Amino acid sequence: MDVSSPAVVITERPADGVGLIRINRPDARNALNLDVRRLLAHNLTEMSGDPSLRCIVLAGNETAFAAGADIKEMAGAGAIDILQRGTHQLWRTIAACPRPVIAAVNGYALGGGCELAMTCDIIIAGEGAKFGQPEVKIGVIPGGGGTQRLPRAAGKYRAMRYLLTGDLFSAREAFDMGLVSEVVADAEVETRAIAVARQIAALAPLAVAQIKQCVLRGLDAPLDTGLALEVTANQLLFASQDQKEGMAAFIEKRTPKFTGK
């Protein structure tokens, strides 16, 4: 596979400090085949290494964020073939992105598409968006974190209801259960996601990175461990130029200019 191919995944820079990665398989409702998964991991890794990019948006199109895995690509596979494809490692690469990642969800976010959204840090969804983990209906289970991330976001009992039935749920239902950060009009999803990304990109990069790490590492740790992580990260930031700049700007009543140093 040529990782520079623009066909199924497109990268854009819609604003200063913001990178956008767009899944572009409209004829397949943006189904996540191996090429798409590898390109997502590749582009997220590449953008994470670019100091000029401070926040990343993942998007699809108005019909689908991603309507699941590419079933035609998986239907005839055996266990060893699935193991050797290493898609679980690609999911880890996406989830481990050090930059904040915002999912801009329009249309369907099903199966692997729902799991992809759940690897992100913020989910902006359109009123008409539909989420779900329907894998049980085709004889398998979620393989990209659905059985783990959905209960952590929505709680055991709501998650079980959708995981065991494969039923879909709306953006409003997703918001009510804590899975979605914000619901907006369908036409405003990408604009809103980019606006939030611009807001984050204008803030202190080191502080943003430490917040993400503290939250993710502390989620499954005892409270005392999470608090210790937070204290250490906060102390570390007092060695940064951005801390000095941010506090000086506050005192001087001006807008800070953060450099990530």
Same-domain pairing of 77 and 125: yes
Contact 69, 26 (CB under 8 A): no
Helix (H) or strand (E) holding 103: strand 101-105
The CATH number of the domain where 242 resides is what?
1.10.12.10
pLDDT at residue 216, rounded to an integer: 93
| Mean pLDDT, each 10-residue run in order, the chain (261 residues) | 66 96 94 91 94 96 87 68 70 87 97 95 98 94 93 96 97 97 98 98 96 94 95 96 95 95 93
Q: Tell me how crowded residue 176 is: count the other CB atoms within 10 A of its CB.
A: 14
pLDDT at residue 224, rounded to an integer: 96
170 DSSP β-pair partners: 130
pLDDT at residue 71, rounded to an integer: 66
pLDDT at residue 154, rounded to an integer: 95
- Give me the number of domains the chain comprises: 2
| Token pair for 255 | 């807008």
Residue 260 domain-assigned?
A: no
Same-domain pairing of 32 and 114: yes
Residue 26 domain-assigned?
A: yes
Residue 2 domain-assigned?
A: no
Same-domain pairing of 233 and 164: no
Same-domain pairing of 75 and 183: yes
| Residues 6 or more apart in contact with residue 20 via CB below 8 angstroms | 11, 12, 13, 14, 56, 57, 58, 59, 194
The CATH number of the domain where 45 resides is what?
3.90.226.10
Q: Can you give the residue range of the structural domain that contains 217?
A: 205-252
| Token pair for 236 | 């570390």
The reply to whether the predicted model has a pTM over 0.95 is no
Residue 4 domain-assigned?
A: no
Q: Residue 12: name the closest of 212, 194, 209, 202 by CA.
A: 194
Same-domain pairing of 152 and 115: yes
pLDDT at residue 7, rounded to an integer: 86
Reduced to 3 states (helix: H, G, I; strand: E, B; else coil), residue 53 is: coil
Q: Which amino acid is at 186?
A: D
Same-domain pairing of 195 and 245: no
Catalytic residues: 69, 112, 115, 135
CA gap 183, 171 in Å, rounded: 7
